Structure 1
Amino acid sequence: MFMNRLILTGAVVFVGLAAALPGAASAAGPHGHPAAAVELTLDNGQKWQTDEVLRTAMGQIRDAVDASLPPIHEGRYSVAELSTLGDWVQEQVDYVVANCKLPEDADLQLHLVLTQVLDGVGIMKGAGGQEQGAATIVQALNAYGEHFDHPDWRPLAHE
């Protein structure tokens, strides 16, 4: 547990430093969505293994975010609702960090995804950052699905 938190802290610091470098994270993807500051890799061309804790929590995060996207896009989510969603996502990430047991290399890759999810939560809970934060979380969840072996994972659409 301590090691997972230490690794997550290191990943957060690394991503923060990368974002502070001129142009490191300023590039935007389609529709003005943020580009990933750090690129994930596959495990020698294969998706990284997962465990039940990870699959359950990530599936729940995915479903909650998916259900929230229409009201977020329509501006119908209040600041309190966004805060509640963000807090809930944070709790799920904390649960994964404390309970997920992956090999070290897979764990390091996972923490890149989790850091981006938490970045999205922070943006989403900020003033006027609803759609930008949601886009960051969607991007992280889709990257998770592309890089981790999670049967029946469905990517999220975000326009």
Structure 2
Amino acid sequence: MATNLLAPLLILSASLMATPVLAQSADHAAHAQHAQHADHAAHRQAAETKAPAQRWATDAPLREGMRDIREATELLNHYEMGHLDATQRDNAVEQIDAAIKNMVANCKLKPDADAALHGLLGKFMAGADAARKGKFTRAELTPMQQALARYPQLFDDATWNDDDAE
């Protein structure tokens, strides 16, 4: 009789012990899915930022930072085509990181302009992170190039196109 009770008790205790582990796995998956969804929502919001009736004013840290990012993005374009080595790629990533850090610390923008800028910076950060991990492809480069094209639509940077001639 004890043997007949032992098997169901073992099954019951094993299933009870597994329940928290299964719930925890589902919980982690839900958190990861939520974080991924939140990231997509942030990117979508940045992409949908409408150009203001009058482009937002820029300051020196913003203008300098965006030029540094443009230069580094052009280098990453060459890297993606196989024309640069990993050291040059890493230098471009460091240039993007430094430009973003400087802009975040020193730009003085109105809240709407700041939000629009952060939408652009997110694309550069994602591309730099992919390059840092050695997983940089056209898929990561394209949003960076789109953000560079979007910048003069949102911000009044009178000399932005002058740099294209250099």
Structure 1-normalised TM-score?
Answer: 0.67
Contact kept in structure 1, 2:80 and 2:136, CA below 8 Å:
no
Unpaired segments of 5 or more residues in structure 1? 1-12, 26-34
Contact kept in structure 1, 2:69 and 2:96, CA below 8 Å:
yes
68-77 or 54-63, which moves further after superposition? 68-77
Shift of 1:59: 1.6
Deviation string for 1:85-115 (max 9, x for gaps)?
1122111101000000011111111111111
State whether structure 2 residue 94 is matched by structure 1 residue 87.
yes
**Partner Cα distance (2:146, 2:58) in 1:** 19
Change (3 A) 1:55 1:71: same
**Partner Cα distance (1:78, 1:109) in 2:** 33
Which structure shows the higher helix fraction?
2
Partner amino acid, structure 2, of 1:39: E
**Partner Cα distance (2:143, 2:128) in 1:** 8
Quote the residue 2:57 is aligned against: 49
Contact kept in structure 1, 2:68 and 2:96, CA below 8 Å:
no
Change (3 A) 1:62 1:36: farther
Quote the residue 1:7 is aligned against: none
**Partner Cα distance (1:130, 1:83) in 2:** 15
Change (3 A) 1:141 1:73: same
Partner amino acid, structure 2, of 1:41: K
Quote the residue 1:65 is aligned against: 73
Quote the residue 2:144 is aligned against: 137
Number of residue-to-residue matches in the alignment: 131
Structure 2-normalised TM-score?
Answer: 0.64
Contact kept in structure 1, 2:76 and 2:92, CA below 8 Å:
no
Identity %: 27
Contact kept in structure 2, 1:124 and 1:134, CA below 8 Å:
no
